[in-house]
Chains A and B, each alone.
Chain A
Amino acid sequence: KEKHKILHRLLQNSTSPVEL
């Protein structure tokens, strides 16, 4: 995860999850 920190950070920036 350390190697992929931008992807990690962008995914964590929250928008409310959309449920199925």
Chain B
Amino acid sequence: LPPPAKKPLTKIVSHLLVVEPEKIYAMPDPTMPDGYIKALTTLCDLADRELVVIIGWAKHIPGFSSLSLADQMSLLQSAWMEILVLNIVFRSLACEEELVYAEDYVVDEEHARLSGLLDLHVAILPLVRRYKKLSMEKEEFVTLKAIALSNSDSTHIENVEAVQRLQDSLHEALQDLEGAHNTEDPRRTGKLLMTLPLLRQTAAKAVQHFYSIKVQGKVPMHKLFLEMLEAK
């Protein structure tokens, strides 16, 4: 028997799939000697460029641009690293114990150790394993990423009701998606939402990691990345 036809995706999820950013490339500087400074310079530059993309992406989340500019800023300042980490994690789902920071920057444990990225590597891998176990799909990833942004628990929100409405609409989109596509597991929405504490914990470790690097002052960082780190 043919499998039952899947219901159409909710409007929000279809929209989030369309506005999902293109692949990003790290383009490590070939003139720099390999090692700690080069690896971190590459990652900081990549993060800075990806932040620009994330800010553009956020504006396409239905309802986000209707928030006040101050609330848009507060959500992004709280959640940017969770979004960066979730992007890395989703790109890494097809790999074995490797992190796909970018299409051209895939790091295994050995490379991570040699380039001083082991702490970050070890911090992010449990999240990859968690989503692998759930076999997270792209529709779920794009929705969860928007939920992470709306649910960033910033203490500086002006219009709490408006942010709540945004959370509710994205939560509903995830529930509808699971209702239509994963009828065999009625707890799947909950299982996905229950990954968010580990995402926050991982992002906090990553922020700490890059903040220490900023304090050491040996790695050049672009202005937007610095600005977001300082907002933390």
Contacts and interface: CB of A to CB of B under 8 A. Distances in A.
The size class of the interface chain A forms with chain B is: 10 to 19
Contacts of B72: 11
B146 to A, nearest CB: 11
Given A18-B65, A20-B66, A7 B15 contact: no
Interface string A1-20: 10111111011100111111
B163 to A, nearest CB: 12
B63 A4 contact: no
A17 B59 CA distance: 7
A15 B65 CA distance: 9
Nearest to B76: A7
Contact of A18 (B64, B70, B73, B77): B64
Contacts of A15: 56, 59-60, 65
A16 B64 CA distance: 11
A4 B231 contact: yes
Interface residues of B, number: 27
B153 interface: no
Nearest to A12: B69
A12 B228 CA distance: 17
A19 B66 contact: yes
A10 B60 CA distance: 13
B103 interface: no
B227 A11 contact: no
B55 to A, nearest CB: 5
Given A11-B69, A11-B73, A18 B55 contact: no
Contacts of B59: 11, 15, 17-18
A2 B63 CA distance: 25
Given A4-B77, A7-B55, A8-B69, A18 B227 contact: no
A8 B232 CA distance: 16
B63 A8 contact: no
Nearest to B59: A15
A13 to B, nearest CB: 8
Nearest to B170: A20
Given A3-B230, A11-B73, 12 more contacts: A5-B227, A6-B227, A7-B76, A8-B73, A10-B56, A11-B59, A15-B56, A15-B60, A18-B59, A18-B64, A20-B62, A20-B166
